[in-house]
Amino acid sequence: MPLIGVTSQTGRTGRVNVTPLWGVREPYRAALEAQGASVVVLPPQPGPQLEAVLARLDGLLLPGGADLDPRHFGEDPHPKLGQVDPLRDELELAAARWAAAHGLPTLGVCRGAQVGAVALGGSLYQDLESAGFTRIGHDQTAPAPALWHTVELEEDRWLAPLFGRRFRTNSYHHQAIRDPGPFRVLARAADGVVEAADLPDHPFFLLIQWHPELLPDHWGLFGLLVEAAAGRRASAAD
């Protein structure tokens, strides 16, 4: 059974709300296990320890969450920048770079997609509305499992067998990929916002801007990660 590492996000617990708590939201675990994976949670840790853990994994999931600090792509904070988490940024950027360099199958979801792009030299729109993207509301008010806007493919790889060339997704974000760096854009929203991208010449490094973990009909995306991870595991056993 492929072992998928999921980078964690932080919360606070305790009587005075000061004790950090690192964990993973339930829909990610459910989606991965439904596709046949075992899940391990990755908290922040020193670089050598993180690399040792990553080397034992078959795949990596970079999940959604808070905004990425714009200093990682050379910008000062926009007035509408939300909460940032330096420890999580450090963890995920390092994990994404290691995965890219070592061929570790990786799926980035929402924030995770943005992390993947920035880790390899790309950049983000810190706030879509302020950047002029007003044709579509990307931070939907309807709760899951409501779908929000249409996505159209530019490349058939990975997504077309699951969804066809035009489909609807949910949308819970106000930041998005501006410069994808070395990633190839696979799909966009009607206003041009990047919705999916992959890393050419990598076994599987897929970035998805929406939240498929909230849509069981989209869990096939996690199946792609698990399938790639199983292939890596089988190759290592030969």
Contact indicator for 110, 210 with CB cutoff of 8 Å: yes
Amino acid at 208: I
Given the residues 72, 211, 218, 227, select the one marked as catalytic: 211
- The single residue of 110, 138, 218, 227 carrying the catalytic annotation is 110
Rounded Cα–Cα distance for residues 229 and 4 (Å): 8
Q: 19 has which bridge partners?
A: 13
Q: HEC string of 41-96?
A: EECCCCHHHHHHHHCCCCEEEECCCCECCHHHHCCCCCCCCCCECHHHHHHHHHHH
| 72 has catalytic annotation | no
E-strand stretches of 84-181: 106-109, 123-125, 149-153, 166-169, 176-179
Catalytic residue among 92, 195, 213, 227: 213
CA angle 21, 25, 28 (to 5 degrees): 140
213 is catalytic: yes
Query: Is 138 known to be catalytic?
Result: no
What are the residue numbers of the active site? 110, 211, 213
